[in-house]
Protein backbone atom coordinates (compact mmCIF):
# COMPACT_ATOMS: atom_id res chain seq x y z
CA UNK A 1 0.00 0.00 0.00
CA UNK A 2 1.41 3.40 -1.01
CA UNK A 3 1.35 6.00 1.74
CA UNK A 4 0.22 9.58 1.31
CA UNK A 5 1.31 12.81 2.94
CA UNK A 6 1.36 16.64 2.81
CA UNK A 7 4.01 19.28 2.02
CA UNK A 8 6.26 20.41 4.86
CA UNK A 9 6.44 18.86 8.29
CA UNK A 10 9.31 17.12 10.01
CA UNK A 11 10.51 13.57 10.63
CA UNK A 12 10.81 12.80 14.35
CA UNK A 13 11.91 9.85 16.42
CA UNK A 14 8.51 8.21 17.15
CA UNK A 15 9.71 6.90 20.56
CA UNK A 16 6.60 4.72 20.79
CA UNK A 17 8.35 1.43 21.57
CA UNK A 18 7.85 1.82 25.33
CA UNK A 19 4.07 1.45 25.13
CA UNK A 20 2.81 0.56 21.63
CA UNK A 21 2.77 -3.18 22.37
CA UNK A 22 1.19 -2.86 25.80
CA UNK A 23 -2.55 -3.64 26.05
CA UNK A 24 -4.88 -1.11 27.65
CA UNK A 25 -5.11 -1.53 31.43
CA UNK A 26 -8.07 -0.36 33.51
CA UNK A 27 -6.89 1.44 36.65
CA UNK A 28 -8.08 0.81 40.21
CA UNK A 29 -11.14 2.94 41.11
CA UNK A 30 -9.95 6.31 42.46
CA UNK A 31 -11.05 7.59 45.88
CA UNK A 32 -12.32 10.78 44.26
CA UNK A 33 -12.50 12.55 40.91
CA UNK A 34 -12.05 16.24 40.11
CA UNK A 35 -14.14 17.41 37.16
CA UNK A 36 -13.31 20.96 35.96
CA UNK A 37 -16.16 23.09 34.67
CA UNK A 38 -14.33 23.64 31.41
CA UNK A 39 -12.85 20.64 29.58
CA UNK A 40 -13.58 21.65 26.01
CA UNK A 41 -13.20 24.48 23.52
CA UNK A 42 -16.16 26.74 24.23
CA UNK A 43 -18.32 28.19 26.97
CA UNK A 44 -17.56 27.12 30.58
CA UNK A 45 -20.25 25.16 32.40
CA UNK A 46 -22.41 25.82 35.42
CA UNK A 47 -22.83 23.08 38.02
CA UNK A 48 -26.17 21.24 38.23
CA UNK A 49 -25.32 19.81 41.68
CA UNK A 50 -24.21 21.23 45.02
CA UNK A 51 -22.03 20.11 47.89
CA UNK A 52 -23.51 17.10 49.67
CA UNK A 53 -25.55 15.84 46.70
CA UNK A 54 -25.45 12.16 45.84
CA UNK A 55 -24.65 11.43 42.18
CA UNK A 56 -24.64 8.34 40.00
CA UNK A 57 -21.97 7.35 37.51
CA UNK A 58 -22.96 8.86 34.16
CA UNK A 59 -25.24 11.52 35.67
CA UNK A 60 -25.01 14.95 34.05
CA UNK A 61 -23.63 17.32 36.69
CA UNK A 62 -22.73 20.46 34.71
CA UNK A 63 -23.99 22.13 31.54
CA UNK A 64 -24.44 25.48 29.75
CA UNK A 65 -26.97 26.82 27.27
CA UNK A 66 -24.41 27.91 24.65
CA UNK A 67 -24.08 26.01 21.34
CA UNK A 68 -20.30 25.53 21.55
CA UNK A 69 -20.14 23.65 24.81
CA UNK A 70 -20.49 20.08 26.10
CA UNK A 71 -21.86 18.87 29.44
CA UNK A 72 -19.86 16.97 32.03
CA UNK A 73 -21.04 13.75 33.70
CA UNK A 74 -19.98 12.13 36.96
CA UNK A 75 -17.36 9.48 36.26
CA UNK A 76 -17.93 7.67 39.58
CA UNK A 77 -20.93 7.36 41.87
CA UNK A 78 -20.73 9.04 45.26
CA UNK A 79 -21.11 12.39 47.01
CA UNK A 80 -20.24 15.88 45.84
CA UNK A 81 -17.52 16.97 48.27
CA UNK A 82 -17.37 20.52 46.98
CA UNK A 83 -17.22 22.90 44.01
CA UNK A 84 -13.90 24.62 44.33
CA UNK A 85 -10.83 25.89 42.55
CA UNK A 86 -8.43 23.09 41.61
CA UNK A 87 -5.38 22.56 39.45
CA UNK A 88 -6.27 22.52 35.74
CA UNK A 89 -3.78 21.08 33.18
CA UNK A 90 -4.42 23.90 30.69
CA UNK A 91 -5.71 26.89 32.65
CA UNK A 92 -3.60 26.72 35.79
CA UNK A 93 -6.52 26.73 38.20
CA UNK A 94 -10.28 26.57 37.57
CA UNK A 95 -13.49 25.69 39.38
CA UNK A 96 -14.18 21.96 39.53
CA UNK A 97 -16.74 19.56 40.99
CA UNK A 98 -15.10 17.12 43.40
CA UNK A 99 -16.93 13.79 43.75
CA UNK A 100 -15.96 11.30 46.47
CA UNK A 101 -16.25 7.70 45.25
CA UNK A 102 -18.66 5.47 47.22
CA UNK A 103 -17.35 2.43 45.26
CA UNK A 104 -20.97 1.33 44.66
CA UNK A 105 -20.61 1.91 40.91
CA UNK A 106 -24.27 2.93 40.62
CA UNK A 107 -24.92 4.07 37.05
CA UNK A 108 -27.30 6.40 35.23
CA UNK A 109 -26.90 5.84 31.52
CA UNK A 110 -28.67 6.78 28.32
CA UNK A 111 -30.67 4.52 26.03
CA UNK A 112 -28.41 2.69 23.55
CA UNK A 113 -29.12 3.32 19.87
CA UNK A 114 -30.92 0.73 17.71
CA UNK A 115 -28.87 -1.27 15.21
CA UNK A 116 -30.29 0.52 12.15
CA UNK A 117 -28.35 3.72 12.78
CA UNK A 118 -28.68 4.83 9.15
CA UNK A 119 -32.44 5.28 9.63
CA UNK A 120 -32.11 7.73 12.52
CA UNK A 121 -32.60 11.46 11.98
CA UNK A 122 -29.31 13.44 11.84
CA UNK A 123 -30.68 16.16 14.13
CA UNK A 124 -31.61 13.54 16.73
CA UNK A 125 -28.07 12.14 16.58
CA UNK A 126 -26.48 15.59 16.98
CA UNK A 127 -28.52 16.25 20.13
CA UNK A 128 -27.77 12.73 21.37
CA UNK A 129 -24.02 13.32 20.88
CA UNK A 130 -24.23 16.64 22.71
CA UNK A 131 -26.05 15.15 25.69
CA UNK A 132 -23.32 12.53 25.91
CA UNK A 133 -20.72 15.26 26.45
CA UNK A 134 -18.69 14.04 23.47
CA UNK A 135 -15.76 16.24 22.41
CA UNK A 136 -12.72 15.63 20.22
CA UNK A 137 -10.41 13.32 22.13
CA UNK A 138 -7.34 14.01 20.00
CA UNK A 139 -6.46 16.97 22.21
CA UNK A 140 -8.41 19.97 20.92
CA UNK A 141 -11.62 18.92 22.76
CA UNK A 142 -13.91 20.75 20.32
CA UNK A 143 -17.55 19.73 20.93
CA UNK A 144 -18.39 16.95 18.47
CA UNK A 145 -22.05 17.89 17.99
CA UNK A 146 -20.86 21.24 16.59
CA UNK A 147 -18.50 19.52 14.16
CA UNK A 148 -21.25 17.32 12.78
CA UNK A 149 -23.70 20.22 12.36
CA UNK A 150 -22.87 21.77 9.00
CA UNK A 151 -24.45 25.22 8.57
CA UNK A 152 -27.05 25.82 5.88
CA UNK A 153 -25.50 25.71 2.44
CA UNK A 154 -22.57 23.49 3.46
CA UNK A 155 -22.72 19.83 2.46
CA UNK A 156 -20.48 17.16 3.95
CA UNK A 157 -19.51 14.28 1.67
CA UNK A 158 -16.65 12.69 3.62
CA UNK A 159 -15.87 11.71 7.20
CA UNK A 160 -12.20 11.15 8.02
CA UNK A 161 -11.26 9.17 11.10
CA UNK A 162 -7.93 10.42 12.37
CA UNK A 163 -5.76 7.48 13.36
CA UNK A 164 -2.46 9.15 12.53
CA UNK A 165 -1.30 9.77 16.13
CA UNK A 166 1.79 11.57 14.88
CA UNK A 167 3.04 12.95 18.22
CA UNK A 168 6.00 10.93 19.57
CA UNK A 169 5.49 8.70 22.64
CA UNK A 170 1.65 8.66 22.49
CA UNK A 171 0.13 5.27 21.64
CA UNK A 172 -3.36 5.38 23.20
CA UNK A 173 -5.11 5.80 19.84
CA UNK A 174 -3.01 2.95 18.42
CA UNK A 175 -4.16 0.61 21.19
CA UNK A 176 -7.81 1.71 20.86
CA UNK A 177 -7.66 0.91 17.14
CA UNK A 178 -6.09 -2.50 17.77
CA UNK A 179 -8.35 -3.54 20.64
CA UNK A 180 -11.64 -1.76 19.85
CA UNK A 181 -11.79 -1.42 16.08
CA UNK A 182 -15.38 -2.60 15.70
CA UNK A 183 -16.65 -0.08 18.25
CA UNK A 184 -14.65 2.65 16.50
CA UNK A 185 -16.40 1.81 13.23
CA UNK A 186 -19.81 1.74 14.91
CA UNK A 187 -19.05 5.27 16.14
CA UNK A 188 -18.05 6.21 12.60
CA UNK A 189 -21.52 5.15 11.38
CA UNK A 190 -23.16 7.46 13.93
CA UNK A 191 -20.87 10.38 13.07
CA UNK A 192 -21.31 9.89 9.32
CA UNK A 193 -25.09 9.79 9.66
CA UNK A 194 -25.09 12.87 11.90
CA UNK A 195 -23.07 15.02 9.48
CA UNK A 196 -24.41 13.54 6.24
CA UNK A 197 -21.15 12.02 5.01
CA UNK A 198 -21.56 9.41 2.27
CA UNK A 199 -18.03 8.02 2.51
CA UNK A 200 -15.61 7.28 5.38
CA UNK A 201 -11.82 7.30 5.35
CA UNK A 202 -9.54 6.02 8.10
CA UNK A 203 -6.12 7.70 7.99
CA UNK A 204 -3.38 5.72 9.77
CA UNK A 205 0.37 6.34 9.78
CA UNK A 206 2.33 3.52 8.19
CA UNK A 207 4.18 2.73 11.44
CA UNK A 208 0.92 1.14 12.68
CA UNK A 209 0.73 -1.73 10.21
CA UNK A 210 -1.33 -3.88 12.58
CA UNK A 211 -4.06 -1.21 12.63
CA UNK A 212 -4.01 -0.81 8.86
CA UNK A 213 -4.40 -4.55 8.34
CA UNK A 214 -7.20 -4.78 10.91
CA UNK A 215 -9.26 -1.97 9.42
CA UNK A 216 -8.76 -3.23 5.87
CA UNK A 217 -10.19 -6.59 7.00
CA UNK A 218 -13.25 -4.81 8.44
CA UNK A 219 -13.96 -2.78 5.30
CA UNK A 220 -16.27 -5.31 3.69
CA UNK A 221 -18.80 -5.31 6.56
CA UNK A 222 -19.14 -1.53 6.78
CA UNK A 223 -22.45 -0.20 5.41
CA UNK A 224 -20.84 2.86 3.73
CA UNK A 225 -17.92 3.06 1.31
CA UNK A 226 -14.88 2.82 3.59
CA UNK A 227 -11.27 3.36 2.59
CA UNK A 228 -8.22 2.83 4.78
CA UNK A 229 -5.43 5.24 3.84
CA UNK A 230 -1.83 4.59 4.86
CA UNK A 231 -0.06 7.83 5.68
CA UNK A 232 3.60 8.67 5.82
CA UNK A 233 4.96 8.77 9.37
CA UNK A 234 5.57 12.48 9.57
CA UNK A 235 4.69 15.24 12.02
CA UNK A 236 2.08 16.92 12.09
CA UNK A 237 0.29 14.30 9.99
CA UNK A 238 -2.53 14.20 12.58
CA UNK A 239 -3.60 17.80 12.00
CA UNK A 240 -7.00 17.81 10.32
CA UNK A 241 -6.03 20.20 7.51
CA UNK A 242 -2.98 18.08 6.69
CA UNK A 243 -5.06 14.90 6.81
CA UNK A 244 -7.54 16.36 4.35
CA UNK A 245 -4.72 17.40 2.04
CA UNK A 246 -3.05 13.99 2.23
CA UNK A 247 -6.19 11.88 1.83
CA UNK A 248 -8.45 13.95 -0.44
CA UNK A 249 -6.02 16.50 -1.93
CA UNK A 250 -8.36 19.30 -0.84
CA UNK A 251 -7.03 22.59 0.54
CA UNK A 252 -8.89 24.17 3.45
CA UNK A 253 -8.88 27.91 2.63
CA UNK A 254 -7.07 30.38 4.97
CA UNK A 255 -9.29 31.07 7.94
CA UNK A 256 -11.60 28.24 6.85
CA UNK A 257 -12.73 24.98 8.38
CA UNK A 258 -12.84 21.38 7.05
CA UNK A 259 -16.58 21.74 6.40
CA UNK A 260 -15.69 24.42 3.81
CA UNK A 261 -14.31 21.58 1.68
CA UNK A 262 -17.07 19.11 2.57
CA UNK A 263 -15.22 17.17 5.26
CA UNK A 264 -15.57 16.34 8.95
CA UNK A 265 -12.51 14.96 10.77
CA UNK A 266 -12.84 13.07 14.05
CA UNK A 267 -10.25 11.30 16.13
CA UNK A 268 -10.54 7.49 16.32
CA UNK A 269 -10.94 7.63 20.09
CA UNK A 270 -13.81 10.10 19.68
CA UNK A 271 -15.43 7.55 17.36
CA UNK A 272 -14.85 4.86 19.99
CA UNK A 273 -16.57 7.01 22.65
CA UNK A 274 -19.54 7.57 20.33
CA UNK A 275 -19.66 3.88 19.40
CA UNK A 276 -19.54 2.83 23.04
CA UNK A 277 -22.34 5.21 23.99
CA UNK A 278 -24.43 3.87 21.10
CA UNK A 279 -24.00 0.30 22.42
CA UNK A 280 -23.94 0.75 26.20
CA UNK A 281 -25.49 4.18 26.77
CA UNK A 282 -22.38 5.34 28.65
CA UNK A 283 -21.63 9.05 28.10
CA UNK A 284 -18.08 10.38 27.95
CA UNK A 285 -16.83 9.56 31.45
CA UNK A 286 -13.71 7.56 30.61
CA UNK A 287 -10.95 7.62 28.05
CA UNK A 288 -7.65 5.90 27.22
CA UNK A 289 -4.41 7.79 27.81
CA UNK A 290 -0.68 7.07 27.53
CA UNK A 291 1.80 7.53 30.35
CA UNK A 292 5.36 7.42 29.03
CA UNK A 293 8.76 9.13 28.96
CA UNK A 294 12.07 8.16 30.55
CA UNK A 295 11.07 8.18 34.23
CA UNK A 296 8.19 5.79 34.93
CA UNK A 297 8.78 2.24 36.11
CA UNK A 298 5.82 0.85 34.16
CA UNK A 299 4.75 3.15 31.31
CA UNK A 300 1.61 2.07 29.48
CA UNK A 301 -1.84 2.78 28.13
CA UNK A 302 -4.53 3.19 30.75
CA UNK A 303 -8.32 3.40 30.66
CA UNK A 304 -9.16 6.01 33.27
CA UNK A 305 -12.24 7.83 34.58
CA UNK A 306 -12.23 11.53 33.80
CA UNK A 307 -11.15 13.53 36.82
CA UNK A 308 -8.65 11.03 38.22
CA UNK A 309 -5.61 12.79 39.68
CA UNK A 310 -2.27 12.36 37.88
CA UNK A 311 -0.44 11.44 41.11
CA UNK A 312 -2.68 8.36 41.44
CA UNK A 313 -1.82 7.31 37.89
CA UNK A 314 1.89 7.64 38.59
CA UNK A 315 1.46 5.40 41.62
CA UNK A 316 -0.50 2.87 39.54
CA UNK A 317 2.43 2.79 37.09
CA UNK A 318 4.88 1.91 39.86
CA UNK A 319 6.14 5.42 40.52
CA UNK A 320 9.29 7.02 39.15
CA UNK A 321 12.62 5.31 38.59
CA UNK A 322 14.10 8.77 38.26
CA UNK A 323 12.60 12.06 39.34
CA UNK A 324 11.31 13.91 36.23
CA UNK A 325 12.63 17.34 35.39
CA UNK A 326 9.66 18.03 33.13
CA UNK A 327 6.06 16.79 32.99
CA UNK A 328 3.97 17.39 29.87
CA UNK A 329 0.29 16.79 29.17
CA UNK A 330 -0.03 15.61 25.56
CA UNK A 331 2.80 15.05 23.11
CA UNK A 332 6.24 16.64 23.28
CA UNK A 333 5.54 18.95 20.31
CA UNK A 334 2.20 20.49 21.26
CA UNK A 335 1.86 19.39 24.87
CA UNK A 336 1.52 21.66 27.89
CA UNK A 337 4.11 21.63 30.69
CA UNK A 338 2.67 20.84 34.12
CA UNK A 339 3.73 22.25 37.48
CA UNK A 340 1.84 19.80 39.69
CA UNK A 341 0.91 16.11 39.83
CA UNK A 342 -2.42 17.13 41.36
CA UNK A 343 -3.94 17.92 37.94
CA UNK A 344 -6.93 15.79 36.86
CA UNK A 345 -7.37 13.96 33.57
CA UNK A 346 -9.77 15.98 31.42
CA UNK A 347 -11.49 15.11 28.16
CA UNK A 348 -8.64 16.46 26.03
CA UNK A 349 -5.90 14.57 27.88
CA UNK A 350 -4.24 12.13 25.49
CA UNK A 351 -1.38 11.38 27.85
CA UNK A 352 1.25 12.54 30.30
CA UNK A 353 4.97 12.37 29.57
CA UNK A 354 7.75 12.50 32.16
CA UNK A 355 11.28 13.46 31.17
CA UNK A 356 14.64 13.52 32.90
CA UNK A 357 16.47 14.44 29.72
CA UNK A 358 15.37 17.92 28.68
CA UNK A 359 16.77 19.66 25.59
CA UNK A 360 17.77 23.22 26.41
CA UNK A 361 18.52 25.42 23.41
CA UNK A 362 20.61 28.56 23.58
CA UNK A 363 19.11 31.32 21.45
CA UNK A 364 21.08 33.13 18.74
CA UNK A 365 20.04 35.78 16.16
CA UNK A 366 18.13 34.47 13.13
CA UNK A 367 20.51 33.38 10.34
CA UNK A 368 17.76 33.54 7.67
CA UNK A 369 18.23 29.93 6.62
CA UNK A 370 14.51 29.54 5.78
CA UNK A 371 14.17 26.12 7.40
CA UNK A 372 11.13 27.25 9.39
CA UNK A 373 9.33 28.24 6.18
CA UNK A 374 10.30 25.00 4.43
CA UNK A 375 8.89 22.96 7.31
CA UNK A 376 5.74 24.97 7.95
CA UNK A 377 2.78 22.80 6.89
CA UNK A 378 0.61 25.92 6.60
CA UNK A 379 2.95 27.69 4.13
CA UNK A 380 3.63 30.57 6.52
CA UNK A 381 6.87 32.49 7.14
CA UNK A 382 7.30 31.76 10.86
CA UNK A 383 10.53 33.71 11.50
CA UNK A 384 8.97 36.84 9.97
CA UNK A 385 5.83 36.40 12.09
CA UNK A 386 8.03 36.02 15.18
CA UNK A 387 9.82 39.25 14.32
CA UNK A 388 6.48 41.04 13.89
CA UNK A 389 5.46 39.74 17.28
CA UNK A 390 8.68 41.02 18.83
CA UNK A 391 7.93 44.52 17.51
CA UNK A 392 4.21 44.28 18.42
CA UNK A 393 3.19 44.73 14.78
CA UNK A 394 0.00 42.78 15.33
CA UNK A 395 -2.00 44.16 12.41
CA UNK A 396 0.79 43.29 9.98
CA UNK A 397 1.08 39.82 11.52
CA UNK A 398 -2.63 39.29 10.98
CA UNK A 399 -2.27 40.37 7.34
CA UNK A 400 0.43 37.70 7.02
CA UNK A 401 -1.98 34.96 8.21
CA UNK A 402 -0.63 34.51 11.72
CA UNK A 403 -4.06 33.24 12.80
CA UNK A 404 -3.66 30.29 10.42
CA UNK A 405 -0.74 29.00 12.49
CA UNK A 406 -1.79 25.79 14.25
CA UNK A 407 1.08 26.03 16.74
CA UNK A 408 2.49 22.62 15.81
CA UNK A 409 5.99 23.66 16.90
CA UNK A 410 7.72 22.49 13.72
CA UNK A 411 9.40 25.89 13.20
CA UNK A 412 10.84 26.00 16.71
CA UNK A 413 12.05 22.41 16.36
CA UNK A 414 13.82 23.13 13.08
CA UNK A 415 15.30 26.53 13.99
CA UNK A 416 19.11 26.18 14.22
CA UNK A 417 19.27 29.50 16.09
CA UNK A 418 17.16 28.09 18.91
CA UNK A 419 14.51 30.83 18.60
CA UNK A 420 11.19 29.93 20.25
CA UNK A 421 9.26 30.97 17.16
CA UNK A 422 6.05 29.20 18.12
CA UNK A 423 5.92 30.97 21.47
CA UNK A 424 6.21 34.37 19.76
CA UNK A 425 3.38 33.42 17.41
CA UNK A 426 1.19 32.18 20.27
CA UNK A 427 1.62 35.52 22.05
CA UNK A 428 0.64 37.39 18.91
CA UNK A 429 -2.45 35.26 18.35
CA UNK A 430 -3.56 35.73 21.95
CA UNK A 431 -3.08 39.49 21.67
CA UNK A 432 -5.12 39.65 18.45
CA UNK A 433 -7.94 37.62 20.01
CA UNK A 434 -7.97 39.89 23.07
CA UNK A 435 -8.18 42.97 20.86
CA UNK A 436 -11.05 41.45 18.88
CA UNK A 437 -12.96 40.86 22.11
CA UNK A 438 -12.38 44.45 23.19
CA UNK A 439 -13.36 45.75 19.76
CA UNK A 440 -10.05 47.31 18.79
CA UNK A 441 -6.79 48.54 20.28
CA UNK A 442 -5.97 47.17 23.72
CA UNK A 443 -4.91 49.74 26.28
Which carries the bigger pLDDT value, residue 216 or residue 359?
A: 216
DSSP sequence for 220-263: GG-SS-EEEEEE-S-BTTTSHHHHHHHHH---PPTT--GGGGTE
Checking if the pLDDT of 443 tops 80, the result is no
Residues 384-432: pLDDT tens digits? 999 999 999 999 999 999 999 999 999 999 999 999 999 999 999 999 9
At 400 the pLDDT is: 95
Neighbours of 382 (CB within 10 A): 25
- Average pLDDT on 102-120 reads 94
Q: What is the pLDDT of residue 440?
A: 59
| 161 pLDDT higher than 70 | yes
- The predicted-structure confidence for 424-433, as pLDDT tens digits, reads as follows 999 999 999 9
Q: What pLDDT, on a 0 to 100 scale, did the predictor assign at position 139?
A: 80
Mean pLDDT, the chain, rounded, equals 95
Q: Exposed, middle or buried by CB within 10 Å (0-12, 13-18, 19+), for 116?
A: exposed
Q: Over the stretch 205-235, which tens digit does the pLDDT of each residue have?
A: 999 999 999 999 999 999 999 999 999 999 9
Residue 442 — pLDDT band, cuts 50, 70, 90? low
Dihedral angle at the C-alpha atoms of 274, 279, 283, 287, nearest 10 degrees?
Answer: -60
Among candidate residues 127, 105, 24, the one with its CA nearest the CA of residue 285: 105
Query: Which pLDDT band holds residue 61 (cuts at 50, 70, 90)?
Result: very high
Instruction: Assess contact for 58 and 107: CB atoms under 8 A.
Output: yes
Given a cut of 80, is residue 314 above it in pLDDT? yes
Contact, 246 vs 158, CB < 8 A? no
d(CA 353, CA 347): 17
What three-state secondary structure class fits 214? Answer: helix
Question: By C-alpha distance, which of 143, 41, 142 is closest to 90?
Answer: 41
pLDDT at 408: 96
Model's pTM, two decimal places? Answer: 0.94
CA separation for the pair 175, 412 (Å, rounded): 30
Q: Is the pLDDT of residue 236 over 90?
A: yes
Q: Average pLDDT, stretch 95-103?
A: 98
pLDDT of residue 361: 84
Chain mean position to CA 130: 17
Average pLDDT over residues 171-194: 98
Mean pLDDT of 341-347: 97
Amino acid sequence: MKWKSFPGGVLLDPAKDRTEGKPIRKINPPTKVVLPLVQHTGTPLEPLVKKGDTVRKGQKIADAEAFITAPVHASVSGTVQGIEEWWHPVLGRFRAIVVGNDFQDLGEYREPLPEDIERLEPQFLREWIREGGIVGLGGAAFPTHVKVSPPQGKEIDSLILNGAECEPYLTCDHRVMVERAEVVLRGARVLARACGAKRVYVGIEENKKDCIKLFVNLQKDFPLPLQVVALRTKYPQGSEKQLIRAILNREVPPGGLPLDVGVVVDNVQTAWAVGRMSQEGVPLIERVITLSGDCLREPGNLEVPLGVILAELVEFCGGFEREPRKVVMGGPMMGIAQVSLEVPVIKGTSGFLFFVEVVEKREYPCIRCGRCSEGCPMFLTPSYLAKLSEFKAFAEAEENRVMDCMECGTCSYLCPAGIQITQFIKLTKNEILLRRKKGGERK
